[in-house]
Chains A and B, each alone.
Chain A
Amino acid sequence: MVSATGVRALIDERGAEFEGYTFGFLDDMAKREIRRTILKAVAIPGHQVPFGSREMPIARGWGTGGLQITLACVGADDTIKVIDQGDDASVNAVNLRRLIAKTTGARETLTTGEATLIQSRHRIPEERMTAAQILILQVPIPEPLRHVERSVASARAMHAEADYARMWLALYEDVVRNGEVTAGAGYPVMVNGRFVMAPSPIPRWDIPKLNQADTLFLFGAGREKRIYAVPPFTNVQPLEFDDYPFEIEAFPNMSCRRCGATDSYLVTSPQADGGTLSVCSDTSYCDDVLAGRKVENQW
């Protein structure tokens, strides 16, 4: 975080770019409220804390929750990375990154290892994140009980009482009907043995990364006005039955067509010639492997 005089100096220095905006776009009261909400969220891992989501210069549903957290946390000396489904180059990721950099003077990067703050949609980077980094995940639907309890008040009461029988029942019915728990993106997890949490629509592949990590994970849902967190070294367990254990996606006999990696989450797209193309979902990781850089990817 940058000091007040630091901000002043920065604004003087880059006055043209900041014109008409406060540092980090949000006003100080908004930032203060969001930071307070983050502290609460960290204090109660997995618990959704309401906050007064602000109007942002992007549409709700495009990462406004994540963006508000990022803007409330970022300092001028931070290095930021924004990824959309693993990709730094998507229009949405580029726009968000530009907005953050422009209103704060923070450095931009595409490389996971260089970033201090990473805002992400639908992925956790393959490269193992460190205690010096924060991952901010954009969340469309923060309530994991949404599909078993439509009433918001009842769902809250269920969280308060740790009454998750209905959630388990939905998983049981899934197993009976489909022979397995079919939940793919956003597999429900139990945080710190207490709260069932929606980990945002990350693939199963990324779920184990949440458990006992070095990194702080912050989750922001702008439209639903909720912030929650998984602090470092917190137990995060996917909901699973003893005889139907949780499994991550498998890519048998597959590797990235671009970098050759066999240890990353692959996305497969159909090709004009009728074949398919599988490449790393995480473009930073793919670039690193391609360039022969050594990457610590064991989460």
Chain B
Amino acid sequence: MVEPLLRVRDLTKIYSGKGHHIVACEDVSFDVYPGEVLGIVGESGSGKSTVLQCLFQDVVPTSGAAYLTSFHEGERNMFEADRRERRELRTHRMSMVYQNPRQGLNLMVTAGGNVAERLLAADWRRVSDIRAKASDYLVRTEVPIERMDDFPAFFSGGMQQRVQIAKALANSPELVLLDELTTGLDVSVQAGVLDLVRDIQSRYGVTAIIVSHDLGVIRLLADRTLVMKDGHVVESGLTDQILEDPQHPYTQLLVNCVTN
């Protein structure tokens, strides 16, 4: 039997405002198996990004646990990682592709440098090797190689997103988190980025969680899918099954919207 790569248990994030609380997500539990793409779909504000942000340790969850097989043999809650371990998780074991490339890229650093940063963090110390690796990934993500030493500040949104993907894949993390990777891109560019991710996935078998409010994206990329509503998982299963035979009324609504 295959062990899950990641187990998430009862993940809850509550934001406290003045005299009120916002439950961003509550008691979210799921497993991710090696080599699979897990989709998380749901309307705006349903808590999808919150789940990814907690896993990538951008925000501190209110309660819950997550176990990564490679982190203390999967026996220690990675939300209890100390600072050093947290950085290790973020630079070696996981990577995140943010909806806004400006969040995931350093625009004051060249495209190649952005990819190189993760390699440097992994103690690569030969410039020629670093450049070979970075250009390899930029080529794979269809960033023209002659742009490698240019600043991504001057790139189109689609190309920025591809640099971000190259960066996220560069030192072969165990788990890639992708948040709304095509939102904000032109429809024509969207298709290209989606093809790219699908191609990388089929060739290299990356394990990923992909978050989208767009069922079309999920259908294209995800093997299994969680449906979230108001911070809760209302349905989960194989993507095909969910699309063909949605059980929860909210999922039915979602699927009908897309198919009609």
Chain A residues at the B interface, C-beta cutoff of 8 Å: 157, 160-161, 163, 165-166, 168-169, 172-173, 175-177, 241-244
Contacts and interface: CB of A to CB of B under 8 A. Distances in A.
B126 A242 contact: yes
B59 interface: no
Given A163-B87, A176-B112, A169 B117 contact: yes
Nearest to B134: A172
B2 interface: no
Given A157-B83, A165-B120, A165-B121, A173 B127 contact: no
A48 B174 CA distance: 36
A244 B127 contact: yes
B18 interface: no
Q: Mostly helix, strand, loop or mixed at chain A's interface?
A: helix
Interface string B8-42: 00000000000000000000000000000000000
Closest 5 CB pairs of A and B: A165-B121, A168-B120, A242-B126, A241-B127, A165-B120
Contact of B127 (A160, A161, A165, A175): A175
Contacts of A176: 110, 112-113, 131, 149
A161 B120 contact: no
B210 interface: no
Interface of B: 83-84, 87, 91, 109-110, 112-113, 116-118, 120-121, 125-128, 130-131, 149
30 contacts: A157-B83, A160-B83, A161-B87, A163-B87, A163-B121, A165-B117, A165-B118, A165-B120, A165-B121, A166-B117, A169-B109, A169-B113, A169-B117, A169-B120, A172-B113, A172-B116, A172-B120, A172-B130, A173-B109, A176-B110, A176-B112, A176-B113, A176-B149, A177-B149, A242-B125, A242-B126, A243-B126, A243-B127, A243-B128, A244-B127
Q: Mostly helix, strand, loop or mixed at chain B's interface?
A: helix
Given A160-B83, A168-B125, 15 more contacts: A161-B83, A161-B84, A161-B87, A166-B117, A168-B120, A169-B109, A169-B113, A169-B120, A172-B130, A176-B113, A176-B131, A176-B149, A241-B125, A241-B127, A244-B127
Contacts of A160: 83
Nearest to B116: A172
A177 B109 CA distance: 11
Contact of B126 (A157, A163, A241): A241
Contacts, number: 44
A37 to B, nearest CB: 25
Nearest to A173: B113
A173 B117 CA distance: 10
Contacts of A168: 120, 125
Contacts of B116: 169, 172
A173 B114 CA distance: 10
Contacts of A242: 125-126
Contacts of A157: 83
Nearest to A166: B117
A172 B127 contact: yes
A157 B83 CA distance: 9
A91 B258 CA distance: 81
Contacts of B91: 165
Contacts of A169: 109, 113, 116-117, 120
Q: Which of B91, B109, B120 has the most CB of A within 10 A?
A: B120
Contacts of A172: 113, 116, 120, 127, 130
A161 B118 CA distance: 16
A244 B116 CA distance: 16
Contacts of A161: 83-84, 87
Nearest to B117: A169
B197 to A, nearest CB: 26
B112 to A, nearest CB: 7
Contacts of B113: 169, 172-173, 176
Nearest to B112: A176
Contacts of B131: 176
A172 B130 CA distance: 9
Contacts of B84: 161
Contacts of B83: 157, 160-161
A244 B91 CA distance: 25
